[in-house]
Amino acid sequence: MQIGIVGLGRMGGNIGRRLMRAGHTCVVYDHAPQATEALASEGATGARDLGDLVAKLDAPRVVWLMLPAGKITEDTLNDLHKILGADDVIIDGGNTFYKDDIRRAGQLREQGIHYVDVGTSGGVWGLTRGYCMMIGGDEAVVKRIDPILATLAPGRGDIPETPGREGRDPRVENGYMHCGPVGSGHFVKMVHNGIEYGLMQAYAEGFHILRHKESKDLAEDERYSLDLADVAEVWRRGSVVSSWLLDLTAGALATDGTLERFSTEVADSGEGRWTIEAAIEEAVPAQVLSAALYTRFRSRDAESFPERMLSAMRFGFGGHHEFPVK
């Protein structure tokens, strides 16, 4: 089927490529002309601006936005709002906060424009392997864009079937899920990323314990110098902690056992923070997911004010300070 794609970065460009390889027709636009031209040279129809993109699509249109969450997505939506018509569909495939989806969909609905949010996981691996997608919106609209979704999804592959799924929605086993009303796709993707933080932190703590086992502070016969690359690799085989994140860890350690080329400052994105806020709104304890987020905050704190406070208090009750005990 025909689709417009706005935003041709690593994700958006590869989405276009995967769709075209399967025979879909893509009209594409990026604010950087060379990105538009690059995809045009691979078979897409390039557009010079949003108006041109809309003009080149047959009504009712389908436009997939693959832009950084926040102002750019918001501005583009506002522009499209003015030039799209009834029964057109906007798909937001970026990392949008789900409450923004709900608000926007309500505004667009007044003009009869449909809105679908698609939480998309897969990174650059997606081009060849497909994208895991979590989708929010009206079922009729999600059905309408099914040819697109089915192409982008990984498909069943050789992953073992889960017993007991007979009679359930087969889309899910192909790697895409209609989660519920607008916003629910990005909500599920948000929690996915929150879990990702927790899993990563669990591995990081465990490997830290393994690494420090050679510490000079320990009794000599209780010290081990463990080969962390080998530990990660052996756990990939039949152990309970095998996972894709472990595969990546094994890969990183294989060529650099101390990971010295990697940053000690760890970024965090909106999803990790929103997950904790959602937990708090729901009164759900999220100890592990919070701890994972806080470790990243801590990694970027050069000032260490709270640690200074602890030192100040210790100094105080150690008695060097002129303050009377009660």
Taking CB under 8 A as the criterion, which residues in 131-150 touch its own copies? 131-134
Among 4, 7, 126, 137, binds its own copies (CB under 8 A): 126
| Residue 297: Cβ within 10 Å count | 12
267 binds its own copies (CB under 8 A): yes
Whole-number minimum distance, CB 311 to its own copies, in Å?
4
125 binds its own copies (CB under 8 A): yes
Location of structure tokens 């933080």: 197
**By CB under 8 A, what part of segment 277-306 binds its own copies?**
277-301, 304-306
Residue 134 pairs with which residues in a beta bridge?
119, 177
Question: What is the token pair recorded at 130?
Answer: 């497909």
**By CB under 8 A, what part of segment 190-229 binds its own copies?**
191-213, 215, 217-218, 221-222, 224-227, 229
Sheet holding 2-6, edge to edge: 45-46, 25-29, 2-6, 62-65, 89-92, 114-121, 132-136, 176-180
The H-or-E segment that residue 132 falls in is strand 132-136
β-strands 62-65, 2-6 pairing: parallel
Whole-number minimum distance, CB 293 to its own copies, in Å?
7
**CA–CA separation, 36 and 44 (whole Å):** 9
Among candidate residues 196, 220, 271, 326, the one labeled active-site is 196
Is residue 198 within 8 A of residue 292, CB to CB? The reply is: yes
**CA–CA separation, 150 and 11 (whole Å):** 17
Whole-number minimum distance, CB 182 to its own copies, in Å?
9
**By CB under 8 A, what part of segment 32-91 binds its own copies?**
none
Stretch that binds its own copies, among 39-47, 66-74, 87-95, 177-185 (CB under 8 A): 177-185
- Our CB check for its own copies shows the closer of 82 and 298 to be 298
Q: Does 196 participate in catalysis according to the annotation?
A: yes
- Our CB check for its own copies shows the closer of 56 and 192 to be 192
Question: Residues with catalytic annotation?
Answer: 189, 196
